[in-house]
């Protein structure tokens, strides 16, 4: 691979959304290794606040790896090493004195497969606020849970069965419960790792709608395999290929006038 492949192309040179919003997360020269294998090569990106950024690319291209580097979920994987610098509001998240638990409270995460705790719906949402001591008393906790469920657009469907197990909900409802759980701790960033890949089109549409509403208040980063989804929900799109961030740009421009051949091939469905 030549040196060109390590350069990220910006489409346009300064994406409109990046100019319009403050940068929430800035990564510069990030490398991620799993043992001997390099999963991310020299990645630099600036992710805008109160906007949706989508990571697209073929399987194994490193987009999930980078996503999990942002809230240091990769720490739990043995042999995983992250070098370079990632900052959240200018603060280095890999700094020695940073508490990873506090970081994860600021950066919530929604996973590929809905993974509610095998507890009641109420407990699922209340768990985060409880361990972080966010609720002063029982009423306060109830308020937080109800508000989070409302924000996740789930409250009307489950208000009569808050004491029933969260695992009894449908797949789409479970995923919205997981989103409610993530926003209950009042994070600044929400990372979503293919949140709709296990859902049917109707549940997917519901989640996409929700993402659209949530971006008013949160910085959202979403990994997706569906280019239509990226086109529908995101403001900024980043295309990953073989561990390299190939091209970053405003979504509308990226999907109409990609500059790199690989981006074009992927978007038009010629490989991946």
Which stretch in 9-17, 179-187, 217-225, 251-259 sits in contact with another protein by CB under 8 A? 179-187
For position 172 contacting another protein by CB under 8 A, the verdict is no
Among 111, 155, 197, 265, binds another protein (CB under 8 A): 111
Least Å from the CB of residue 164 to another protein: 13
Of the two residues 19 and 101, which places its CB atom closer to another protein in the complex? 101
Under rule CB under 8 A, which residues in 53-82 are in contact with another protein? 71, 73, 76, 78
Instruction: Write each residue from 5 to 44 as x if it is in contact with another protein (CB under 8 A), else as -, in one continuous string.
Output: ----------------------------------------
Under rule CB under 8 A, which residues in 152-171 are in contact with another protein? 165, 167
SS3 string, the chain, reads: CCHHHHCCEEECCCCHHHHHCCEEEEEEEEEEEECCEEEEEEEEEEEECCCEEEEECCCCCCHHHHHHHHCCHHHHCCCEEEEEEEEECCEECCCCCCCHHHHHHHEEEECCCCCCCCCEHHHHHHHHHHHHCCCCCHHHHHHHHHHHHHHCCCHHHHCCCCCCEHHHCCHHHHHHHHHHHHHHCCCCEEEEECCCCCCCHHHHHHHHHHHHHHCCCCEEEEECCCHHHHHHHCCEEEEEECCEEEEEEEHHHHHHCCCCHHHHHHHCCCCC
Q: Which residues bind another protein (CB under 8 A)?
A: 71, 73, 76, 78, 101-105, 108-111, 113, 115-118, 127-128, 131-132, 165, 167, 178, 181-182, 184-185
């Amino acid at each position: 691979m030549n040196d060109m492949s390590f350069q990220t192309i910006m489409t346009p040179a300064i994406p409109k959304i990046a100019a319009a919003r403050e940068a929430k997360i800035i990564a510069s020269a990030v490398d991620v290794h799993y043992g001997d294998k390099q999963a991310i090569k020299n990645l630099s990106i600036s992710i805008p606040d109160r906007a949706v950024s989508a990571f697209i690319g073929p399987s194994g291209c490193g987009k999930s790896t980078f996503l999990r580097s942002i809230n240091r979920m990769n720490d739990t994987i043995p042999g995983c090493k992250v070098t370079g610098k990632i900052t959240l509001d200018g603060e280095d998240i890999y700094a020695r004195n940073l508490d990873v638990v506090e970081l994860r409270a600021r950066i919530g995460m929604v996973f590929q497969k809905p993974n509610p705790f095998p507890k009641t719906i109420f407990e699922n949402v209340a768990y985060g606020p409880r361990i972080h001591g966010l609720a002063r008393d029982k009423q306060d906790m109830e308020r937080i849970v109800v508000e989070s469920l409302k924000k996740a657009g789930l409250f009307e469907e489950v208000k009569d069965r808050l004491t029933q197990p969260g695992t009894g909900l449908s797949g789409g409802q479970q995923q919205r419960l997981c989103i409610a759980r993530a926003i209950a701790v009042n994070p600044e960033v929400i990372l979503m790792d293919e949140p709709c890949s296990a859902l049917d089109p109707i549940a997917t549409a519901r989640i996409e709608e929700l993402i659209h509403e949530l971006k008013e208040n949160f910085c959202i980063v979403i990994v997706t395999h569906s280019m239509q989804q990226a086109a529908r929900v995101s403001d900024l799109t980043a295309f990953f290929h073989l561990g390299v961030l190939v091209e970053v740009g405003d979504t509308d421009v990226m999907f109409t006038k990609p500059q790199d051949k690989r981006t074009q091939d992927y978007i038009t469905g010629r490989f991946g």
